[in-house]
Amino acid sequence: MSDPRHFITGTELTRVELEAVVNRALELKRGGRVGPRPLQDHAVALLFEKPSTRTRVSFQVGISQLGGEALLLRSEELQLARGESVKDTALVLSRYIDAIAVRIGDHAVLEELARHASVPVVNALTPLHHPCQALADLLTLRERFGSMEGLRVAYVGDGNNVCHSLMLLGARAGVQVVAATPAELAPDAAIVVEAGDLACVVEDPAEAAAGAHAVYTDVWVSMGDESESARRRQLLEPYRLDAALLAQARDDAVVMHCLPAHPGEEITAEMLYGERSAVWDQAENRLHAQKALLEALLG
């Protein structure tokens, strides 16, 4: 048996494979619900430790539309909660199902699950990476601008998992990502280096937004960061995505946010709901991008 294809950071896909997944996602979106059902007689486990709206619903609906069955498994409902090892859980689940999507608070646990699973493991969110979101982001850029090559995205705010994945997959697709963050909340330096010449970090949000095709932000206080919420809000106050910041970008630039959003904090309501917002396309595109990814991994 060949080794399974995992999707842990997104860099498991070559540039050609990434472009193929994005193009296939666009085909699936244009085709609506009518199409092949390649997951017929397949089951995909959704192992979720963290709350979810877009990730859970888009995976469940996408798996159903591809003809498969989604099994929602909360970690507290499994024997993991009573001390069964991650290795044993991976070995057992691999005997029952065809892929595992995992949303969990410890990236090392995801990596261990992937080491021992004999079926594809998909990162549906960890504190370090959110590659499924980046797939949807690239699809959104592809729709809006016709291609991904040569685009510039300004990411402003917390240098978190969304920023990491946008840099890594953006570089694969030929998209320059300039992240503007406070020094205290800068993205992981090793990930920035891995992303290569197309990724860079600055402190001035206006510098990042200059000439950008898209200006992107995320919440100031992510799950797990609640204990330092006051400090984060103080640091990130100058990084709000508002009309003044968008004015630094191209005239055709779009506004992006991975959601959930807090209007008045990291983004103004005018930007979130305005005519230049691509936010709701991003949210929908989680469905199409993940369908294309599952086709690629299980095909």
35 in the same domain as 91: yes
231 in the same domain as 104: no
Per the residue annotation, which of 132, 218, 232, 240 is the catalytic one?
Answer: 218
Known catalytic membership, residue 74: no
Known catalytic membership, residue 133: yes
Task: Give me the pLDDT at residue 81, please.
Answer: 84
Q: Which residue segment(s) compose the domain that 173 sits in?
A: 131-283
248 in the same domain as 205: yes
Domain total of the chain: 2
170 in the same domain as 109: no
Q: Please state, in angstroms and as integers, the Cα–Cα distance from residue 98 to each residue in 121, 209, 215, 263, following that order.
A: 9, 42, 37, 39
Per the residue annotation, which of 133, 176, 248, 290 is the catalytic one?
Answer: 133
181 in the same domain as 232: yes
Beta strand 43-48 with 214-217: parallel, antiparallel or unpaired? Answer: unpaired
260 in the same domain as 294: no
Per the residue annotation, which of 5, 103, 164, 232 is the catalytic one?
Answer: 103
Task: List the one residue out of 259, 263, 264, 251 whose CA is nearest residue 280.
Answer: 259
* pLDDT tens digits along 125-167: 999 999 999 999 999 999 999 999 999 999 999 999 999 999 9
Quickly state the pLDDT bin for 32 (edges 50, 70, 90).
confident
Q: Which residues contact 19 (CB under 8 A, 6 or more apart)?
A: 148, 173
Known catalytic membership, residue 103: yes
Known catalytic membership, residue 286: yes
How buried is 59 (Cβ within 10 angstroms: 0-12 exposed, 13-18 middle, 19+ buried)?
Answer: buried
Mean pLDDT over residues 279-294, rounded? 98
How buried is 83 (Cβ within 10 angstroms: 0-12 exposed, 13-18 middle, 19+ buried)?
Answer: exposed
Secondary structure (3-state) at 156 = strand
Pair of tokens at residue 172: 């694969």
pLDDT over threshold 90, residue 36: no
**What's the rounded Cα separation, in Å, for the pair 267 and 211?**
19
pLDDT over threshold 70, residue 198: yes
Cβ(179)–Cβ(159) below 8 Å: yes
* pLDDT tens digits along 46-92: 999 988 999 999 999 999 999 999 999 998 889 988 899 999 999 99
Task: List the one residue out of 15, 37, 48, 24 whose CA is nearest residue 293.
Answer: 24
In a domain, residue 7? The reply is: no
Cβ(99)–Cβ(39) below 8 Å: no
175 in the same domain as 38: no
Per the residue annotation, which of 5, 54, 56, 130 is the catalytic one?
Answer: 130
Task: Give me the pLDDT at residue 34, please.
Answer: 66
Cβ(282)–Cβ(135) below 8 Å: no
Known catalytic membership, residue 258: yes
In a domain, residue 171? The reply is: yes
CA 2 to chain centre: 27
Pair of tokens at residue 136: 């949807």
CATH (domain of 218): 3.40.50.1370
In a domain, residue 2? The reply is: no
Mean pLDDT score of the chain: 96
In a domain, residue 3? The reply is: no
259 in the same domain as 278: yes
Mean pLDDT over residues 17-35, rounded? 91
Task: Give me the pLDDT at residue 174, please.
Answer: 98
**What's the rounded Cα separation, in Å, for the pair 70 and 176?**
35
In a domain, residue 209? The reply is: yes
Task: Give me the pLDDT at residue 284, please.
Answer: 98
Q: Which helix (H) or strand (E) holds 102?
A: strand 99-103
User: For residue 220, what is the DSSP state?
Assistant: S
Neighbours of 225 (CB within 10 A): 16
**What's the rounded Cα separation, in Å, for the pair 53 and 65?**
18
Task: Give me the pLDDT at residue 210, please.
Answer: 98
Quickly state the pLDDT bin for 44 (edges 50, 70, 90).
very high
In a domain, residue 10? The reply is: no
* pLDDT tens digits along 94-127: 999 999 999 999 999 999 999 999 999 999 999 9
Task: Give me the pLDDT at residue 1, please.
Answer: 58
* pLDDT tens digits along 214-270: 999 999 988 777 888 899 999 999 999 999 999 999 999 999 999 999 999 999 999
pLDDT over threshold 80, residue 4: yes
248 in the same domain as 138: yes
Strand order in the sheet with 199-202: 199-202, 176-180, 152-156, 214-217, 254-257
Per the residue annotation, which of 24, 137, 258, 290 is the catalytic one?
Answer: 258
User: For residue 7, what is the DSSP state?
Assistant: B
In a domain, residue 6? The reply is: no
Secondary structure (3-state) at 55 = helix
Known catalytic membership, residue 218: yes
Task: Give me the pLDDT at residue 28, please.
Answer: 95
Mean pLDDT over residues 181-196, rounded? 98
Per the residue annotation, which of 54, 56, 286, 288 is the catalytic one?
Answer: 286
In a domain, residue 9? The reply is: no
272 in the same domain as 223: yes
Secondary structure (3-state) at 118 = coil
135 in the same domain as 274: yes
292 in the same domain as 200: no
Quickly state the pLDDT bin for 299 (edges 50, 70, 90).
confident
Mean pLDDT over residues 170-187, rounded? 98
